[in-house]
Amino acid sequence: MLLKSLVGLGLKEVDAEIYLLLAKEGPQTGRNIAEALTLYKQQLYRSLKSLQNKGCVKATSEHPSKFSAVAIEDVLDMLVDVSLEEVQDMEENRQRILSYWQAILKKKQPIQ
C-alpha cells in the first residue's frame, strides 16, 4: 500500500522501494541498498540521485556515503505540493487551449 501510494504521488517504483527501505532500516551504503533490493549499481545511483533532487533522501559526505530517508511527513508534503502544482499547470493549459479554440471557431482560422 505504501509503495503504491508513493508511486501514485509521482515516484518511480524503484525510487519508492529505495525510499521505503531507507525509512525503515535507517542510513545505508549504496552497496547495502543494492544487495537488499537486488539492483544494479547504475540503476541504484540514478534513483538515489533522483530522490536527492526531490528532497526525499540525503547523503553523507563520508566515503562510502550513507544514504538516509527524509521524514515521511516531509516527503508526502513535497510530493503533494508537486502534484498540486502539476494540476494547476494542467488547468491553466486547459484554459489557454479552450480560449484558443474559441478564437479559432469565431474567426474560422485554420488549426495550427
Residue 110 has pLDDT above 80, yes or no: no
pTM comes to 0.79
Find where cell 544487495 sits.
Answer: 35
Q: Which domains does the chain have, with CATH numbers?
A: 2-107 (1.10.10.10)
The pLDDT value recorded for residue 112 is: 63
Which of 1-10, 32-41, 75-84, 103-112 ranks highest by mean pLDDT? 32-41
Q: How far apart are CA 24 and CA 29, in angstroms?
A: 14
CB-based contacts of 58: which residues, under 8 Å, 6+ apart? 52, 67, 68, 70
Query: Tens of pLDDT along 57-105?
Result: 999 999 999 999 999 999 999 999 988 999 899 999 998 999 888 888 8
